[in-house]
Structure 1
Amino acid sequence: MKPKTVQELFIHELSDTYNAEKQMTRSLPKMARASTAPDLAAAFEQHLEETRGQVERIDKIVELTGFKLKRLKCAAMEGLIEESQDLIDEIDKGPLLDIALMGAAQKAKHYEIASYTTLVMLAGKLGLTEAASLLEETLAEEKATDEKLGLLAQSAAMDDAIEDEVADAKA
């Protein structure tokens, strides 16, 4: 059913985002296991815990509003997760895979940031103050995780790992 009102669009977007978060709870442990950089694996584990909390926030929004989520599969997140799984399958464990996984995780974060930005705006239009506040909390977490991943990608440990790989390739 196509959304025809702001409320229907909000429910549709919330349902899509809920599924995206559920997919992430299954993907993050795989990414953590594939990581060789301890800081990256820890970041994935930490984000898994945050993601579980984000799912609980959506459950709370449903409870607050009385809205019923639709059974949707978030095709965008499914594609991003499939892409990260392809990286795990195709690249040997090591610094190169770690870098690729950071990029894949940031792609997912950017999608989630866009989703939560839209949801906050829609909740505001609908006068759902408590829902908007919960969604803003999640949006802040998503932005913080994106920033952490960016800083991790620029870290000295990652630079050293890349330099070691380049040196090995030249040898």
Structure 2
Amino acid sequence: MKNPSDEKKIGTENPVPITAKEEGLSVQEKFEPDISGGLNELFEDQLKQIYWAENELTKTLQQMISKATSLELHSALSEHLEITRQQIIRLDELFSKLKMKAEGEKCEALAGLILEREKTINRIEEGDLCDAGIIAAARKLEHYEMASYSILISFAKALKLKDSLRLLNKSLQEEKECDEELSNLSLEINIEATSSS
């Protein structure tokens, strides 16, 4: 039978390694370099905000589709809804590549744009004028997304995140194309809204 002093000796000679869990760290934190702070932190914050934004926009786009009367606008918004869903999948992939949990962080700027859209559209009867309001709101949302993806791209370039750049550039290009389509559509719808008001 071993006495307590023997156990102390054994423990001293053969220390049991402290696990990451016992240190209060995840395995990732223990065995990977600490990338918190600085530009990385800004990049991660922006990534979480655009993730929240894209998820919120799936709901917002569905509401706009339900109020749109123009077939062309209905089609453009429906197409962008599907693209937004693909962008969320792309962001999930980006989080995975960065070994981060895919989670959103509320963006007050976008939340304000969504609230503004609700106030504008809900007080207008369906028709050309409502469609014009929908396009105006949708384009503001598009410009927020374009700015967000552009910022993420500039951070990713500085951080040399090549895989992230590829995914982010794809989404930025889609946002630009959608904005251009909505801009072209607004030319006709705004004229029709003028005659119906």
Q: Where in structure 2 are there 5+ consecutive unaligned residues?
A: 1-35
Q: CA deviation at 1:72?
A: 1.3
The residue correspondences of 1:1-171 to structure 2 (distance < 5 A) are 4-69=37-102, 71-155=104-188, 158=189, 161-162=192-193, 164-166=195-197
Whole-Å separation in 2 of the counterparts to 1:71 and 1:113: 18
Q: Which amino acid aligns with 2:196?
A: E
Identity fraction in percent: 35
> Greater RCO between the two (CA within 8 Å, min separation 6)?
1
Q: CA deviation at 1:84?
A: 1.2
After the TM superposition, list the runs of 4 or more consecutive aligned residues in structure 1 that deviate by more than 3 angstroms.
68-71
Whole-Å separation in 2 of the counterparts to 1:163 and 1:86: 20
In the alignment of these two chains, the number of paired residues is: 162
Q: Residue by residue, what CA displacement relative to the aligned partner does 1:51-94 show, whole Å, maximum 9, x if unpaired?
A: 00111111000111112355411111111111111122111111
> Quick check: 2:51–2:104 contact (8 Å CA) kept in 1?
no
Which residue of the partner structure matches residue 29 of structure 2? none
Q: Which amino acid aligns with 2:110?
A: M
| Pair 1:138–1:86, CA change in 2 (3 A) | same
| Pair 1:159–1:87, CA change in 2 (3 A) | closer
Q: Where in structure 1 are there 5+ consecutive unaligned residues?
A: 167-171
TM-score of the superposed pair, with normalisation by structure 2: 0.78
What is the CA RMSD across the aligned residues, in angstroms?
1.5
